[in-house]
Structure 1
Amino acid sequence: MKPTTRYGAIATLLFSLLCPPVMADSIEYINTNTSKVLDQFKQQAEGADAMLDDAAGVLVFPDIFRLGFGLGGQYGEGVLLVKGKPVAYYTNAGHNYGLDTAQHHSKSEVIVFRDIDALNTFRNKSSWKVGENGNVTLPKIDAAKGVELAGESGSVLGFVISDKGVVPDVTLDGNRYTRNMKKSVAVAP
Structure 2
Amino acid sequence: MIELSRRGLLAGMGATALLAACSNGVGSDGGAQIDARVDATQAFLEERYPGTRDLAARSAGVLYMPLITEAGFGIGGAYGRGALRIQGATVDYYSATKASIGFQIGAQQYAHALFFTTPQALEEFRRSPGWAASADIRYATPDQGASIGKETTELDPVVALVFGQQGLIAGATLSGVKYTRIIP
| TM-score when normalising by structure 2 | 0.69
Counterpart check, 1:115 vs 2:118: yes
Closer, same or farther in 2 for the Cα pair 1:89/1:162, shift >3 Å?
A: same
Gaps of 5+ in 1: 1-20, 184-189
Aligned to 2:139: 138
Give the letter for the 2:121 counterpart: A
- Say which of 154, 176, 181 aligns to 2:178: 176
- 8 Å CA contact 2:80–2:96 kept in 1: the answer is yes
Closer, same or farther in 2 for the Cα pair 1:29/1:141, shift >3 Å?
A: closer
Aligned to 1:10: none
Q: CA deviation at 1:93?
A: 0.4
Aligned to 2:9: none
Aligned to 1:28: 32
Distance 1:125 1:68 in 2: 28
Give the letter for the 2:174 counterpart: L
Distance 1:56 1:82 in 2: 6
Give the letter for the 1:47 counterpart: G
Q: Deviations over 1:161-186 (max 9, x none)?
A: 2167xxx9632111100111x34xxx
Q: Deviations over 1:68-127 (max 9, x none)?
A: 55423100111111111111111100136x9x75xx6x4211111111111011111121
Q: Secondary structure at the match of 1:109?
A: strand
- Say which of 48, 65, 68 aligns to 2:69: 65
Equivalence map 1:93-112=2 (5 Å): 93-95=97-99, 101=107, 106-112=109-115
Structure with the higher fraction of residues in strand conformation: 2
- 8 Å CA contact 1:109–1:161 kept in 2: the answer is yes
- 8 Å CA contact 2:142–2:163 kept in 1: the answer is no
Aligned to 1:3: none
Aligned to 2:161: 159
- Say which of 42, 51, 54 aligns to 1:50: 54
- Superposed CA RMSD in Å reads 3.1
Q: CA deviation at 1:51?
A: 1.0
- 8 Å CA contact 2:81–2:95 kept in 1: the answer is yes
Give the letter for the 1:137 counterpart: R
Aligned residues: 151
Q: Which has the larger radius of gyration?
A: 2
